[in-house]
Amino acid sequence: MNPELVIVGVLTSGIRLATPYLYAAIGETFGQRSGVLNLGVDGQMLLGAFAAFYVAFTTGNLWLGLLAAIIVGALMGLAMAFVTVNLQAVQGISGIGFYLFGLGMSELLFKMMLGTVETVKGFPIVSIPFLGDIPFVGKIFFQQNIMVYGAFLLVPLAWFILNKTTLGLKIRAVGENPEAADSLGVSVARIRYFTIILGGILSGLAGASMSIALLNVFQQNMTSGLGFIAVALVYFGAWRAWGVLAGALLFSFVNSIQLWMQVLNVPIPSEIAVMLPYILTIIVLVLTVSRVRPPSALTKPFDRGD
Amino acid sequence: MTEENKLPSGHTRIDSLEMRGITKRFPGVLASDNVNFDVKAGEVHALLGENGAGKSTLMKVLYGLYEPSEGEIFLNGKKITIDSPTDAISHGIGMIHQHFMLVETLTVAENVALGLPSSKGFLTDLDKVSERILELADIYGLKIDPDAYIWQLSVGQQQRVEIIKALYRGAALLILDEPTAVLTPQEVDEFFVIMRQMVADGHGLIFISHKLHEIMNICDRVTILRDGAKVGTRNIADITKSELANWMVGREVSMTRELEKIERGPSRLTLENLSCDNERELPAVKDFSLKVHSGEILGLAGISGNGQRELAEAITGLREIKGGKVLLEDEDITHVRPGEVTERMLSYIPEERMRDGMIKDFTIAENMVLREHHVPPFAEKGFLMLKKIANHSDDLIKKFRVKTPSRETKAGTLSGGNIQKVVLAREISRNPRVLIAAQPTRGLDVGATEYVHEQLLKQRGEGTAIMMISEDLDEVMALSDRIAVICEGELMGIVERADATPQKLGLMMAGENV
Ligand SMILES: Nc1ncnc2c1ncn2[C@@H]1O[C@H](COP(=O)(O)OP(=O)(O)OP(=O)(O)O)[C@@H](O)[C@H]1O
Ligand SMILES: [Mg+2]
């Protein structure tokens, strides 16, 4: 194959594949900045992916599918928020509970409501006028589908919200010193409800991006742990939106290279190739951990002590 | 509503505020016991009582942080309910907490702006906030950089941020929970100027302090609490300082003491041209040399934020040393890790005990053995000797009169002064070779201060070399054999006890070579 084509292919799918990582990890960033560790991301993604796919498949309307993913993600977030904020559950454990629930539930619904693997026609590629026509760059960055654009726009948006708005200030304060925020009349519970539900919605969208924009199918456990990598990316990105972007791109490019190696029949066992992103997770985390301090109140339930 | 009801900040004055029959129970503790308390516009009402008497609890009820088990609150004669700090703030009540309520990773301006509506809607308006901070800082003489991060500030500077935060919110009634505990005498004077100005403007102030001269100086009335219950309220004009002390403690308290003469032993702690940086990687301690001898208390006086904390951390191995040497007797411990420094019997009472000296979620017993939990007698062959730990902590709880339901209580729920006592007890009781004590009596009541002073002198008698870092000149002059003064990280000089006067030390602290 023409090496130029290969390079453009690798880069194009690298950008594409960053999409679910970005939605999920940006959502997780909001949660963690407010002091909540959500390990249920993968479960939320699976349910979001199923909801989006099922609704899109049955109604033929992708936007309704997206709406379904948002609603399901929000409901999962709401449940998570109740358990985390009101019941003050140990977050590391309750998150795994939510993951298992999402995994099992999406599988059950899939068997009951679909039974077999179906496909939908996902969001089409939208070429951005002018930019899409630039050689190389246009193909890589500006001939993608709408959910890919959405994921990349989310990064500056998240940065802006966290650093430039009063809401972002409250989120950061609640994650560092909830007592101080509380003493100034900031409702720790309300902020955490907000970030957890937002995280749920974005996880739902991450799932939808896989099932109706990138792969356009739904399969049992189709995320295969991607949500956990998203959690790791938040650490990798040092709780900053741009850092998360860098991490997401790193992983999606490794993934893309791995896929292209299989396409081109590079003689490596496919199991090894598939393992690459996960090995990379571990190496990168080991190398980057302790570079930046996590939010001080991360995983700590807040209780005024009265 | 007439103009007279307004404060200069534009907020409505609180003519009177009354708490009636306030009771607050915690598991195993009756923290407030049917207390009546009131404040009027234009007065300073002091709240006085021993550590754990229930002062902070009563005030947290007023600020909406604790829900009272019983009792009512009246504002200008009308019954109100305060369920949260938001309610309190909207009624014009502000509070400066005993333990700072600041977000360390945010800037001064961000901390001030937190929770307030912004003039730019959902966007932060930090430049406007900074402007107003500088305005307020100017009016009240509080030097502060709105763009500095809290973690970069000294305790004294952080206190200023807390004051600005309250002033910024334009509170009509301000609760001040031990605001002066962390200030130097000069800063206290400046703070009193602010307080007087606020009172003259029509604010009502509630002032908590363990320093009786401050109460005599600034307050109009004083209410004494003991074991959660109110003992009484008096006009300051009708009572003397020693009457106040005896009334509060319930016995005679001695306020001055003589230093027993001891032969100064060999040098235990030697600093040779020590230099280190602060968090901003600027030089914090510069070319610092001195010796602390066995059987001596060396007072280190200085205005907060002049390198004291960095110096102590460099000695104890907590901070990287950029130049020079630290000797413990003749062992070089310049680059030894903190754990090993501890094992060589150097004790450290850090200034920020809540952050650096204890673990809030651990029990008192666990906190009492933090330093030595891994060595006999508290651990053998890797097992904790729970019985010994229990006995040891019961012993210290009794000796240091830590007010707590039990040794299994979480240290974080103790009253401010009692948290201090836990750290002091742990560090002093191990009979160290060298003891570095930063602000050892900050936040302690009169009786406890007396006890800690006795303990420091007892250690001195047993040959410990003590370096006492304190901003309280009275304390430094009362206990030290020699007094070293630090200013901007440099040693300004060392004065013998007999030659020390407040004027002289004050000048040196301000950076003048005398
Ligand atoms: N959140 C809490 N949970 C349990 N007990 C508490 C809590 N807060 C305070 N207490 C207990 O209530 C009592 C009164 O504490 P409080 O903090 O009001 O004392 P204080 O008068 O402010 O003392 P200090 O001078 O040492 O600050 C103490 O015995 C303390 O242990
Ligand atoms: Mg208190």
Cα(B454)–Cα(B297) distance, rounded to whole angstroms?
13
pLDDT band at A305 (very low <50, low <70, confident <90, very high): low
Helix (H) or strand (E) holding A157: helix A146-164
> What is A177-230 written as a DSSP string?
-HHHHHHTT--HHHHHHHHHHHHHHHHHHHHHHIIIIIS-B--TTTTTTHHHHH
pLDDT band at B513 (very low <50, low <70, confident <90, very high): confident
Answer whether B115 sits within 8 Å of A170, measured CB to CB. Answer: yes
Residues of B in contact with A165 (CB under 8 A): 122-124
Answer whether A167 sits within 8 Å of B122, measured CB to CB. Answer: yes
DSSP B264: -
Mutate to test the pocket of ligand 1, among B51, B409, B415 (most ligand atoms within 8 A of CB): B415
For the segment A20-36, the average pLDDT, to the nearest whole number, is 97
Nearest-neighbour CA in chain B from A97: distance (Å)? 26
Query: Is some CB atom of chain A closer than 8 A to the CB atom of B413?
Result: yes
SS3 B465: strand
**Residue whose CA is closest, atom 12 of ligand 1?**
B31
Cα(A57)–Cα(A64) distance, rounded to whole angstroms?
10
For A87, phi then psi, to 5°, come to -90, -5
As a whole number, the mean pLDDT across chain B is 88
> What is B152-199 written as a DSSP string?
GS-HHHHHHHHHHHHHHTT-SEEEEESGGGGS-HHHHHHHHHHHHHHH
Answer whether B85 sits within 8 Å of A182, measured CB to CB. Answer: yes
pLDDT band at B265 (very low <50, low <70, confident <90, very high): confident
Residue of chain B with shortest Cα separation from A303: B65
Pocket lining: B209 vs ligand 1, CB cutoff 6 Å? no
pLDDT band at B305 (very low <50, low <70, confident <90, very high): confident
- Please name the residue that has the structure tokens 């962390």: B182
Tell me the ligand closest to B421's alpha carbon: 1
8 Å CB contact between A99 and A79: no
pLDDT band at B484 (very low <50, low <70, confident <90, very high): very high
Q: Are strands B379-380 and B383-384 parallel, antiparallel or unpaired?
A: antiparallel
- Domain with residues B3-101+171-249, CATH architecture: 3-Layer(aba) Sandwich (3.40)
- Ranges for all domains in chain B classified under CATH 3.40.50.300: 3-101+171-249, 266-345+431-514
Both tokens assigned to A208: 């939808």
Residues of A in contact with B118 (CB under 8 A): 166
CB contact set of B302 (below 8 Å; sequence gap of 6+) = B308, B469, B471, B485, B486, B487, B509
- Please name the residue that has the structure tokens 């305790």: B155
Q: Are strands B267-277 and B93-96 parallel, antiparallel or unpaired?
A: unpaired
DSSP B104: T
8 Å CB contact between B492 and B508: yes
Distance from residue B283's CA to the centre of ligand 1 (Å): 39
Residues of B in contact with A179 (CB under 8 A): 101
pLDDT in tens, B435-465: 999 988 888 888 888 888 888 999 999 899 9
Cα(B420)–Cα(B424) distance, rounded to whole angstroms?
6
**Residue whose CA is closest, atom 27 of ligand 1?**
B416
Both tokens assigned to A74: 């929000």
CB atoms within 10 A of CB A140: 19
Cα(B317)–Cα(A31) distance, rounded to whole angstroms?
36
**pLDDT at residue B502, as a whole number:** 84
Cα(B277)–Cα(B400) distance, rounded to whole angstroms?
36
Pocket lining: B302 vs ligand 1, CB cutoff 6 Å? no
Max Cα distance, chain B (Å): 76
Percentage above 90 pLDDT, chain B: 49
Q: Tell me the one-letter amino acid at B387.
A: K
List b or e across B338-368, with b for residues whose CB sees 16 or more CB atoms inside 10 angstroms: eeebbeeebbbbbbebbebbbeeeebbbbbb
Percentage above 90 pLDDT, chain A: 66
**pLDDT higher for A306 or A107?**
A107
Pocket lining: B447 vs ligand 1, CB cutoff 6 Å? no
Answer whether B117 sits within 8 Å of A167, measured CB to CB. Answer: no
Please tell me whether the peptide bond between B377 and the residue prior to it is cis, using omega within 30 degrees of 0. Answer: yes
Residues of A in contact with B419 (CB under 8 A): none
Cα(A177)–Cα(B478) distance, rounded to whole angstroms?
38
Residue of A170, A179, A296 with shortest CB distance to B114: A170
Answer whether B85 sits within 8 Å of A173, measured CB to CB. Answer: no
**pLDDT at residue B323, as a whole number:** 92
**pLDDT at residue B401, as a whole number:** 87
ipTM of the complex: 0.88
For the segment B377-404, the average pLDDT, to the nearest whole number, is 89
Which range scores top for mean pLDDT: A194-198, B80-84, B439-443? A194-198
Query: Is some CB atom of chain A closer than 8 A to the CB atom of B67?
Result: yes
Q: What order do you get walking across the sheet with B16-26 strand by strand?
A: B29-40, B16-26, B70-75, B78-80
DSSP A37: -
Residue of B67, B89, B123 with shortest CB distance to A185: B89
Nearest-neighbour CA in chain A from B114: distance (Å)? 6
**pLDDT at residue B2, as a whole number:** 47
List b or e across B203-240, with b for residues whose CB sees 16 or more CB atoms inside 10 angstroms: bbbbbbbbbbebbeebbbbbbbbbebbbbeebebeeee
pLDDT band at A77 (very low <50, low <70, confident <90, very high): very high
HSE-up (13 A, CA, CB side) for residue A242:
4
User: Is the predicted pLDDT of residue A24 greater than 60, yes or no?
Assistant: yes
Q: Model pTM?
A: 0.78
For the segment A248-262, the average pLDDT, to the nearest whole number, is 87
Helix (H) or strand (E) holding B80: strand B78-80
Answer whether A165 sits within 8 Å of B123, measured CB to CB. Answer: yes
Query: Is some CB atom of chain A closer than 8 A to the CB atom of B27?
Result: no
For the segment B350-375, the average pLDDT, to the nearest whole number, is 86
Return the ligand 1 atom nearest residue B210 CA. Answer: 25
Distance from residue B57's CA to the centre of ligand 2 (Å): 7
Answer whether A176 sits within 8 Å of B105, measured CB to CB. Answer: yes
Both tokens assigned to B102: 């600041």
User: Is the predicted pLDDT of residue A267 greater than 90, yes or no?
Assistant: no
For the segment A162-186, the average pLDDT, to the nearest whole number, is 95
pLDDT in tens, B169-214: 878 899 999 988 777 777 788 789 888 988 988 889 999 999 889 9
**Residue whose CA is closest, atom 25 of ligand 1?**
B51
> What is A242-290 written as a DSSP string?
HHHHHHHHHHHHHHHHHHHHHHTT-SS-HHHHHHHHHHHHHHHHHHHTT
Answer whether B84 sits within 8 Å of A305, measured CB to CB. Answer: no
For residue A235, which of A158, A293, A161 has the smallest C-alpha distance?
A: A293
SS (H, E, C) B319-383: CCEEEEEEEECCEECCCCCHHHHHHCCEEEECCCHHHHHCCCCCEHHHHHCCCCCCCCCCEECCE
Residues of B in contact with A176 (CB under 8 A): 103-106
Q: Which CATH number fits domain B266-345+431-514: 3.90.1200.10, 3.40.50.2020, 3.40.50.1820, 3.40.50.300?
A: 3.40.50.300
Distance from residue A173's CA to the centre of ligand 1 (Å): 25
